[in-house]
Amino acid sequence: HLRHLGWSSDTLAWHRSYPIAQGNRQSPIDIVSARAVYDPNLKPLVFSYESCASLNISNNGHSVMVEFEDTDDKTAISGGPLENPFRLKQFHFHWGTNRSQGSEHTIDGKPFPCELHLVHWNARKYATFGEAAAAPDGLAVVAVFLEVRIAKIACLYDESIFFFQGTKAQFSSFNPKCLLPLSLDYWTYLGSLTTPPLNESVTWIVLKEPISISEKQLEKFRMLLFTSEEDQRIQMVNNFRPPQPLKGRVVRASFKA
């Protein structure tokens, strides 16, 4: 159903099919750093990604996604605002047509050219990812901003493998720890998925320090298509939702400004 969406215009119309789009804890948001509240009780984040098993990489029609084996707690995140370990399910990216836009979250009104989302679920409390994705404390997503510099992120894929929507390739032995910045200072708030069904099920953990991506790697993202092989080609760009109203939510910071 996302296949032909012109994202920038259609994100505004999602509320017709998904009334929750106008809910009280929608994402992304603009994080106003001066209004974030330092919380000394927030714990450091712990990424247990050592024994992680990546399965495949795909063009799912709205992003590049890498999926992981999630049958046990070996590949998980803990600490931070979370009470339990949350298992890594997948990661994906959002990007723009050029480097002046692309991220979903913004900091003091400033977007980044790209944003990575590492999606985790609460397997201690819920039996399946689907069940967790519908629950208010079911998901934890770590957001990492990417800025254009000499790349930290190596070329993940040959774009010809999955140029079209729905194509998938085997992709094993990738450890996403290499996608994390040195500093794990973060902001956290309660929010939602940023694509339909827009469930308000996400504890967001937005890392303050960006990582680097090269312009060449960003161009590879932009060569992908929203569409499948039979359809008219629509370039996959601007696959981000704009910031949503905060509606009284508090953004907490793990660090002193």
Query: Residue 41 falls within a domain, yes or no?
Result: yes
CB 162 within 8 A of CB 59: yes
191 pLDDT more than 70: yes
**What pTM was computed for the model?**
0.94
Distance of alpha carbon 89 from alpha carbon 163, whole angstroms: 23
Number of domains in the chain: 1
Q: Which of 4, 62, 105, 120 is catalytic?
A: 62
Distance of alpha carbon 218 from alpha carbon 186, whole angstroms: 24
The domain containing residue 215 runs over which residues? 7-253
CATH number of the domain enclosing 222: 3.10.200.10
> pLDDT category, 233, cuts 50, 70, 90?
confident
Distance of alpha carbon 116 from alpha carbon 42, whole angstroms: 22
Q: Please report the pLDDT score of residue 1 as a whole number.
A: 39
CB 52 within 8 A of CB 77: no
Q: Please report the pLDDT score of residue 226 as a whole number.
A: 87
Query: Residue 150 falls within a domain, yes or no?
Result: yes
Q: Please report the pLDDT score of residue 193 as a whole number.
A: 97
Query: Residue 2 falls within a domain, yes or no?
Result: no
Q: Please report the pLDDT score of residue 174 as a whole number.
A: 87
Backbone angles phi, psi at 80, to 5 degrees: 60, -135
Mean residue pLDDT of the chain comes to 90
62 is catalytic: yes
Query: Residue 91 falls within a domain, yes or no?
Result: yes
More confident residue, 246 or 11: 246
**For 137-155, what is each residue's pLDDT tens digit?**
999 999 999 999 876 666 6
Distance of alpha carbon 201 from alpha carbon 127, whole angstroms: 15
| Nearest one of 217, 4, 232 to 116, comparing CA atoms | 217
Query: Residue 165 falls within a domain, yes or no?
Result: yes
Query: Residue 85 falls within a domain, yes or no?
Result: yes
Q: Which residues contact 206 (CB under 8 A, 6 or more apart)?
A: 31, 105, 142, 143, 186, 187, 188
Query: Residue 244 falls within a domain, yes or no?
Result: yes
**For 204-231, what is each residue's pLDDT tens digit?**
999 999 999 989 889 989 888 888 888 8
Give the highest mean pLDDT range of 17-21, 98-102, 140-144. Answer: 140-144
Look-up: residue for tokens 């140029």? 163
Query: Residue 1 falls within a domain, yes or no?
Result: no
Q: What is the DSSP string of 133-190?
A: HTSTTSEEEEEEEEEESS-SSPP---GGGG-STT-EEE--S--GGGGS-S---EEEEE
Q: Say how many C-beta atoms besides its own lie within 10 A of residue 171's C-beta.
A: 18
